[in-house]
Chains A and B, each alone.
Chain A
Amino acid sequence: MNGYVAAGYGSTLFGLAGYALWVLRRGRMLTRGRSGRGLG
């Protein structure tokens, strides 16, 4: 496969999957009562 085509499809997959995993993980943490945030 052409390198540019691979880079286009790869970056799309990486970006969408990365954000989706972050959102799912954040949701899991919050429903378990761990926000990872403090009042500082």
Chain B
Amino acid sequence: MSNGSGRRAGTAGALTTTLGIAALLSLGVTFALGLSLPATVEQGDYSRLIAIHPGLAWASYVAFGVGALASAAWLWPRTRARSWDLLAGASMEVAVLFTALTLVTGSIWGRPTWGVWWTWDARLTLSALMFMLELGYLALRRVPADVEITANRSAVAALLSVVVVPVNHFAVEWWRTLHQGRSLMQLNPRRELDGEFIGAMLVGFLAMTLVYSWLVVHRVRVARLEAAEDESMLARALDERRAEEVTV
């Protein structure tokens, strides 16, 4: 697809189109499998949320982790490249979306099963802290400064705050919590969950990973365009200023 100036309109390409179709299909299968799960004795219909909630939480960990790895690559002199900083910013923004959806779906699941929308349980508190750290990271990126300084500051912030991810993941074992144990430890059909619940949850993991990948590729391309736009606007403003000086 192209516009009048010969530039492609939009950030889609062959790779993202294929990835997008795969993400959409897997998300559709996740929803179909999740909504067709039978009601359980313990939780009734609410157990159907297993297809989406753990997958969203997983994607939020992946997004935060990729943000931290890209930040490390930016700070490491041998791999230092602007693309790593853009990837870190994009991934952390997508992390905000997945963490917010994890908190929302968790709260919706918690209300009928625990009787409360929210409680200061270790897992929930750390998820909320993770969300705040992601928002703080994005706010730090918006503090006006030189591009390099902004990238350095935010990379250090991402590396310091990523420690919340493993702590959050193991919180259900390290502290006594209302939240159930780690989802990935419940893959034995005879022990905790029936096979169809495990299947729906694993398809959910795959779907959310594909959706994350698709979103982050597009967001990086948008960030690259925004950076180019900022540079051209600055150059234009400087040219105008110089022209004014000549006129005066």
The interface residues of chain A lying within 8 Å CB-to-CB of B123 are none
Is B233's CB under 8 angstroms from A39's CB?
yes
Is B31's CB under 8 angstroms from A16's CB?
no
Is A4's CB under 8 angstroms from B109's CB?
yes
Closest chain B residue to A10, Cβ basis:
B108
Closest chain A residue to B112, Cβ basis:
A4
Closest chain A residue to B44, Cβ basis:
A2
The interface residues of chain A lying within 8 Å CB-to-CB of B18 are none
- Determine the distance from Cα of A33 to Cα of B232 in the docked complex, in whole angstroms: 11
Closest chain B residue to A28, Cβ basis:
B10
The interface residues of chain A lying within 8 Å CB-to-CB of B225 are 27, 30-31
Interface residues in A1-40 by Cβ distance below 8 A to B read 1-2, 4-5, 7-9, 11-13, 15-16, 19-20, 23-24, 26-28, 30-33, 35, 37, 39
The interface residues of chain B lying within 8 Å CB-to-CB of A12 are 52, 56, 101, 105
Is A8's CB under 8 angstroms from B53's CB?
yes
Closest chain B residue to A39, Cβ basis:
B237
Q: Is the interface of B mostly helix, strand, loop or mixed?
A: helix
The interface residues of chain A lying within 8 Å CB-to-CB of B5 are 33
Is B218's CB under 8 angstroms from A24's CB?
yes
- Determine the distance from Cα of A27 to Cα of B222 in the docked complex, in whole angstroms: 5
Q: Which residues of B contact A (CB under 8 A)?
A: 3, 5, 7-12, 27, 31, 34-35, 44-46, 48-49, 52-53, 56, 94, 97, 100-101, 104-105, 108-109, 111-112, 211, 214-215, 218-219, 221-222, 225-226, 229, 233, 237
Closest chain A residue to B3, Cβ basis:
A32
Residue in A8, A13, A30 whose beta carbon sits within 8 Å of that of B226 in the complex:
A30
Q: Which 5 A-B pairs have the closest CB atoms?
A: A27-B11, A2-B45, A30-B225, A28-B10, A8-B108
23 pairs, A vs B, C-beta closer than 8 Å: A2-B44, A4-B109, A8-B49, A8-B52, A8-B105, A11-B104, A13-B31, A15-B100, A16-B27, A16-B101, A20-B214, A23-B11, A23-B215, A23-B218, A27-B218, A30-B226, A31-B3, A31-B8, A31-B10, A31-B11, A33-B5, A35-B226, A35-B229
Is B45's CB under 8 angstroms from A1's CB?
yes
- Determine the distance from Cα of A27 to Cα of B35 in the docked complex, in whole angstroms: 33
